Amino acid sequence: MRSGRFAVAAMLAWGLCFQSNVLTQAAPDREEETGQYEPAANWPQPWSERGYLSGSNAGVFAQSPDRVFLAVRGELKAPDPAPRNFLGFWGSLDQRATVPQPELRNCIVVIDRNGKAIEKWTQWDHLFQPSQPPRPGDYFAGPHKIKINPYDPEQHVWVVNEVQHVIYEFTNDGKQLVRTIGESGVAANDEKHFGRPQDLAWLPDGSMVVADGLLNSRIVKFDRNGKFVAAWGTKGDGPGQLNGPHGIETDRDGRIFVADRSNRRVQTLDQNGRPLEQWAGFRQINDLYIGVDQQVWVVDGVNSRLLKFDRTGKLQYWWGTHGTYPGAFWEPHQVSVDPEGNVYVADSYNGRTQKFVPKAGADRAKLLSPPRVARSTASR
C-alpha cells in the first residue's frame, strides 16, 4: 500500500497518463462493441401502458435470470405517428429519455429470462412522485438505483430515491415496505438524513455503506440493523474527500470502492473510511461492479464503455460504444450480472435496459464474472 505525498503524486501522475493514453482512444473494432457478448433480441418485451414508452432506465439488478429488477423513471408518451427511424425506445428519437417529464408509473418492474414483465410494483409508484410540481428544467423524479444485499437470506430489495433523499427496503415480492432510511423530501447532512443519495453496497459483516451523494459528498455507514455508525468525507478533491459520489461497491476483503464522479476518479477506502488509493483520469463514472474474480468493472457513462481493472487499478480490457442500435449505449447507468453470467445494462438516455449473453467460446478473462455471493433464485 502506498502512502504519503509521494504516493499521492504518483497516483495523480498515473491518472493523467491513463486519461491521455486509454480513455481517449478511438472506438474498438466492430467485434469489440459488445465485447464477448451478444445482445439478447426482444429483451425486455414492452410493458408500458398502451401509447407509452419506458422512460429513463436508471437501475437494474439481476437476482436470477428469471428475476431481473428494473428501476425506471416512469413512462413517456409515445410519438404518434412514429417517425420512420423509430426503434421502439426513446433514444431512437435522437433525444435523451431524461428530457421530457415522465408520468411516474411502472417505476419498478420484474422481468424474466424471456423478457416478459412478470411483476409491476405499481403499488409503490406514489413514493417517487416529487414533493412539489416540477418546474421547467427541474431534475426529474423516479428511482435511481436498485440492489439486493447479497448477505440477506430473505433477498430484500433496496431502491435509492435520490430526489426524495431516502432509501427504501422492500420484501422480495414487493408486498411490504420494510424500512425507509432518511426523511422523504428533507435533505440534511446528519445521522438521520441524506442529501441526494446515489448508491449503496454491503460489507462482508452485513453493514451497509451509502454514497451520499450530490449534496453531501460523503459516505455513510450503517450496521446490519440499519443503525448509523459513521460518516466520512467532505467536498473536495483531496484524498478522502469527495465530489458527487455516484456509485459504491465493496470487495470480499472489505475494501470500499467509490465512483467519485465529479472528481473523475475511483477512490478506495478501508472499512473505517481511511483513504487507500485513487485511480484518476476518467470522464464520468456512473457505476462499479466487482464479481467473484475480484476484478473491478467501471461503467463510463460519457464514453458508453465498460472498463475492466485489476485490484491495483491497472486497465485490463474494455468494450462498448455509443449509439442507439442493439448493443450500443447512451449513458449506461447501472450494470448487473446474474448467476449464469448474463450481463444487464440500464441505459439511461436511451430509455432501455439490455441483456447480453456470452458468445459461444467467449474468452472468460474478458467476461464480467458472476456475483461474489450466490443469490437465491427463489422469489419468496
Q: Which helix (H) or strand (E) segment is 287 a member of?
A: strand 285-290
pLDDT at 235 over 50: yes
Q: What is the CATH number of domain 4-366?
A: 2.120.10.30
Share of the chain above pLDDT 90, in %: 84
Does the model's pTM come out above 0.75?
yes
Instruction: Kindly tell me if the per-residue pLDDT of 3 is higher than 70.
Output: no
292 in Cβ contact with 279 (< 8 Å): no
Confidence of residue 26 (pLDDT cuts 50, 70, 90): very low
CB atoms within 10 A of CB 94: 9
All cell numbers assigned to 64: 436470477
Task: Domain ranges for the chain, please list them.
Answer: 4-366
Higher pLDDT, 19 or 302: 302
CB 156 within 8 A of CB 171: yes
Predicted confidence (pLDDT) at residue 373 exceeds the cutoff of 80: no
> What average pLDDT does the segment 172-186 reach?
97
Query: Whole-angstrom Cα distance, residue 362 to residue 168?
Result: 38
Q: Which residue has the cell 431512437?
A: 92
